[in-house]
Every structure is written in C-alpha cells, then in structure tokens.
Amino acid sequence: MKKPVPGASTLAAPKPQKNWDWRAASNFIAGGAGGALLFFASISGFEPAPTRMAILFALILIGCGLTCVWFEIGRPLRALNVYRHIATSWMTREAFVALAVFATGGLAWLLVQPLLALLAGIAGLAFLYSQARILAANKGIPAWRHPRSVSLMVATGLAEGAGFLACVASMSGASISFWHALALLILIAIRALVWKGYLAGLTAEGAPEGALRVLDGIAPRLAVFGHVLPGLAVAAALAGMPGRPALMFAAGILVVAGGWFLKYTLVRRAAFTQGLAVVRLPARGGGPAGPAVKPGWKPVPGAKAG
Amino acid sequence: MKRYVMTIDLRRCVGCQTCTAACKGTNATPPGVQWRRVLDLETGEFPEVRRAFLPVACMHCGDPPCESVCPTEATTKRDDGLVAIDYELCIGCANCVMACPFDARSIVHEQHFAYGESQMTSEARRFDPGRVGVSMKCTFCKDRIDEAAVTGRTPGVDPEVTPACVNSCISGAMGFGDINDPQSGVSQLLAQTQHFRMHEELGTEPGVYYIWDQP
C-alpha cells in the first residue's frame, strides 16, 4: 500500500523533531534533577548518612541520564570526541562538568567532607545550567531557543532537586526543618511563575502552532499536580500538621513528577522545528509579488519575526 | 576572501525537481534522505490563491548554529563560506540537527537501500559506511569547489566546478558564485533584483539568496 503523500505546504510547516527521543529526554530529566539534588544535599546540613544517600542518588541520576544519551548517539564508540569543542559547545561543557561532578561527588560520598560536598554541589549546579544552555542553543526549535527556556530548565531542575531531597530526608528519617520546607515551597512558587512567564513569552513572540497547542495543553495538569498540590502539602507541613515526613515526601514526589512531565513534554512533544518560510512570494507572469508565507505559525501582531 | 553563495530565482523555478534528482545522483544519499528538496507552496484562499516552488537545502550560513553547538568540531565553517562535516569526527549526537533552522540535516542510523536489505549494483558501488550514524547535509558539492581552487576554474561559471543542482537547473533559476567578487554572476544578479534570505531574523547569515522581483 502506498504511503499517503503529505499535503503541499505541510512539508514546509514545523514538524515534531524526531532525532532526540526518550533517551535524550532522559538526560535532561534525570541529569537536571540530579545536579540540583547534589547542590541541595551539599548545603542541607543533614547528618552524614542522609547526605551520603542524597549524593549517591544524585550521582546515579546523572549517570543514568548520560548513559541513556550514550545509547542514543549514532557513533557511541567515538563518544570521547565530545570533549573537542569547549569554546562554544554547551554539550562539550556539560561533558567536562560531568567529570567534575563525578570526581567531587564521588569523593564527597566517600569522605562526607563539607568542602568536597560543596564543590560537588557547585558542579551539580553547573551541570544543570549546561543542560539548560544545550537546549537554548538549538535555533532550529523555537520552544527551546526562547531566552526564558534557560530559566525554566534551571527553575524546574532546582525544584526537582529540592523535591528529591525532601523524599530522601523523609525516607532516611532526617529531620526536616522549617527552613527546608520553606525552601521547597519557594522553589515550587518560582517554578510556577517562571513556567507562566515562559509560556506567555513564547506565545507573545510567536512559535509553531503545534508547540503552543502542546504546551497550553499541559498547563492545567502541571498547575494542579506540579504546583498546587505539592504547595498545599508543604504548607500543611509548615503549619504543623501531623505526619510532616509523609507530607514532605508526597510534595517532593509531586514536584519531581511535575518537573519530569514538563521536561519530557518540552524535549519530545513540544519540540516542533522552525519550518520553512518565504518573506515574499515571487512575482510571476505579469502579476505582482505576493505576501509572506510561514506555514504552521499563527501570526502574532507586533511580534518580532522568527 | 571568497564567500560562495547560491542564488535562487523563485520567479523562474518551475518545481521540476531536477536539482533534487541531480543532488541525489551526485551524492548517492540513502532512501528517504534528500539534501536538496523543492517544496511546493500553495497558499491563500480561493480565488486569491498562489503557488510557488521553494528549493531548500543547507544554507551554508555565515554564522552557522550547527557549528557552534557541535561538540566534536566535526562541523566547521571554511574560509570560503562552505559549512562542512568531517564524518570521521562526528558522533551522531544530532545537536546540529536541532540547531539548524532549515531542516537541512539528517542522520541515518542503519543502512538501508531502495529495495530493502539487498543493494542494487549502483548502491553497492557507491555505499559509504562512513555516513551511517553521523550527521549529513548538502556540501555545495565541495569536492568541485576544492578542485576549482586547484585548477583555477571558477565555480558558478565552469560547470565542472559548480554544484550539481545549479548545473542541472532547467530554467536557470539557480546561480552560484563568490559574493565578495563584485563582478561575479551572483553579485551582479543580486544588485539587480529584490531578494531575501530565509529566517534572516535568526542571525545565522544564510548563504542562499531568494530572488522574488525586480527592484
């Protein structure tokens, strides 16, 4: 049976990217959360046992993400070539930072030494930031190249890291202070605001209709399960309701799940390509030239082109 | 310093796809991969409808985003303006594919042929395993440009050193040459016409100019 032929103008319209599948998405999902968890573990002030547990978990998350992406690349045996272009490539920088993460994180896990843990935490933050910049450097994907995508990736990574720390603390019996809970609540609020700002900016400046449809579609679920419910759980813990560890665990899981849902959507489902366009249709025969054509984009009055 | 660019006169293109076929024949790209495509744009609503043909490929940008994101330095911008890929360095991470706003790059992860697993004679002769699992795209037929540098012939004038798509164009819609030479065909043509570069607002300085009208 013959495959259906795409409509004439659909070939020029933005299409969902197909080159980075769940394996690449896993690197952003797990790696960002792991980097932030490493940072919060380093400044948590927890006892050595839960700190070590958090550091180990963070390293496992980052390692799993990098392993997934290794399985995705076309020539895995040449993977070390990734270290060749530190001048401009955020992927190269991420790879160098990963070395620092595992070196300092591994030593911090072994020795539980505060300075080493802090260095590992800073490396974790750098890893998270590198990942955000990898996405933003991709001019071919409008939903990624928007300047606010960097703050969105960092904000959700930090919220996920704090969420994971809450889970680790709840499971290990570490004392969760008022300040730990307040920090998680603030990070949830920041992520909600940054997400709202990102979506508003993307809509105002223009993006492929498909990308906006996907992102608008997840907004209610993200608001309820990623922000409101975990926010209420943390608020209840702060208010002194009984069962603080369980409340913090539930809040942490919801924050992480919300962030992973957001990142998977951004990397996989909302990643529509730029598509092709003409500034003017050509003059043909005796007729005049025609207007601009940009299939798959909704015209935005006053928005800059792109 | 030379800066090779391509001109495409949208008024002349008839959508015959000869350039697409010439590119495929010259570069032996695998099934499903076309470094050069001609899109058929139908726009408007009856009775105000229009149709135009839009040849697209790598734009050989002056500030190529694919080059800056590449972690391996496999993608480079040459002094003559061509954006090239070293297949031996590329790890197939697809970061350049995401960075390109022109859908110009592709990666084939497994070798396959027009009729499944078995190769036709022509495919067997020209199959390049070095292009499996790595990023690939239009090269502006760089082997020919390199030959021009050695022989002193002029790309865009001498067919032997001109990209295959330009040579094949039946309507003379495509031109090629050094835009830094005011006497070149492309410089003269651009001086006499109205033109644009696609997605110029993204700041990549594409090396393909689309002509749409007289001044």
β-strand partners of B196: B210
Residues of chain B contacting residue A19, judged by C-beta atoms under 8 Å apart: 94, 97-98, 107
At A304 the pLDDT is 47
Query: Sign of dihedral through CA atoms A40, A46, A47, A50?
Result: negative
The pTM is what?
Answer: 0.94
Structure tokens at B86: 């070293």
pLDDT at A305: 41
Residue type, A19: N
As given in the structure block, the two tokens for residue B152 are: 């002193």
pLDDT of residue A141: 98
Find residue B210's DSSP bridge partners: B8, B196
**What is the CATH classification number for the domain harbouring B100?**
3.30.70.20
Please tell me if residue A303 touches chain B, with a CB cutoff of 8 Å: no
Output the six-digit token pair for B124. 């067997």
Q: A156 and A32 in contact (C-beta within 8 Å)? A: yes
- Specify whether the CB–CB gap between A75 and B85 falls below 8 A: no
User: Which residue range(s) make up the domain with B76?
Assistant: 4-213
- Contact across the interface for B107 and A74, Cβ inside 8 Å: yes
- Classify residue A301 as exposed, middle or buried by CB count within 10 Å of its CB (0-12, 13-18, 19+): exposed
Contacts of residue B176, Cβ cutoff 8 Å, sequence gap at least 6 = B4, B5, B6, B7, B140, B155, B156, B162, B163, B166, B186
* Mean pLDDT for back-to-back runs of 10 residues, chain A (306 residues): 56 94 97 98 92 97 98 97 98 98 97 95 98 98 98 98 96 88 97 98 95 98 98 96 94 98 98 96 89 85 48
B38: its two tokens: 């001609």
Query: Per the structure block, which two tokens stand in for A34?
Result: 């792991």
Q: Are B35 and B57 in contact (CB under 8 A)?
A: yes
Q: What is the pLDDT of residue A282?
A: 95
Q: Which residues in chain B touch residue A12, judged by CB atoms under 8 angstroms apart?
A: 39, 41, 54
Look at strands B4-9 and B83-85 and give their pairing. Answer: unpaired
**Closest to A149 in 3D by CA, of A131, A129, A132, A128:** A132
pLDDT the model gives residue A2: 53
Q: Residue A303, exposed/middle/buried by CB under 10 A (0-12, 13-18, 19+)?
A: middle
Contact A91 B69 (CB under 8 A): yes
Q: Does B104 touch chain A (CB under 8 A)?
A: no
- Count of structural domains within chain B: 1
CA gap B137, B150 in Å, rounded? 24
Which residues, given as ranges, of chain B have pLDDT below 50?
none
User: Which three-class secondary structure state does DSSP give residue B44?
Assistant: strand
- Give the pLDDT of residue A254: 98
What is the predicted pLDDT for the residue at A7? 55
User: From CA B207, how far away is CA A265, in angstroms rounded?
Assistant: 34
User: How confident is the model over B159-187, as pLDDT tens digits?
Assistant: 999 999 999 999 999 999 999 999 999 99
- How close A208 gets to chain B, by Cα (Å)? 13
Looking at the partner chain, which of B10, B37, B204 has a beta carbon nearest the beta carbon of A139?
B204
The answer to whether B73 and B89 have CB atoms below 8 angstroms apart is: yes
Provide the chain A residues 9-28 that lie in CB contact (below 8 A) with chain B.
9, 11-12, 15, 17, 19-20, 24
Q: Does A283 touch chain B (CB under 8 A)?
A: yes
Name residue A48's beta-bridge partners: none
Q: How far apart are CA A159 and CA A296, in angstroms?
A: 33
Q: Which residue of A has its CA nearest to B87?
A: A75
Predicted pLDDT at B122: 87
Residues 173-212 of B with CB under 8 A from A: 194, 196, 198-202, 204, 210-212
ipTM confidence score: 0.94
Q: Which spans in chain B are helix H?
A: 18-27, 65-69, 95-99, 121-126, 142-151, 164-168, 185-192
Query: What domains lie within chain A, and their CATH numbers?
Result: 19-269 (1.20.1630.10)
Residue A110 CA from chain centroid, whole number: 29
pLDDT at A4: 54
Backbone angles phi, psi at A63, to 5 degrees: -65, -40
Residue B118 CA to residue B129 CA, distance in Å, equals 15
How many Å apart are CA A152 and CA A219, to the nearest integer? 14
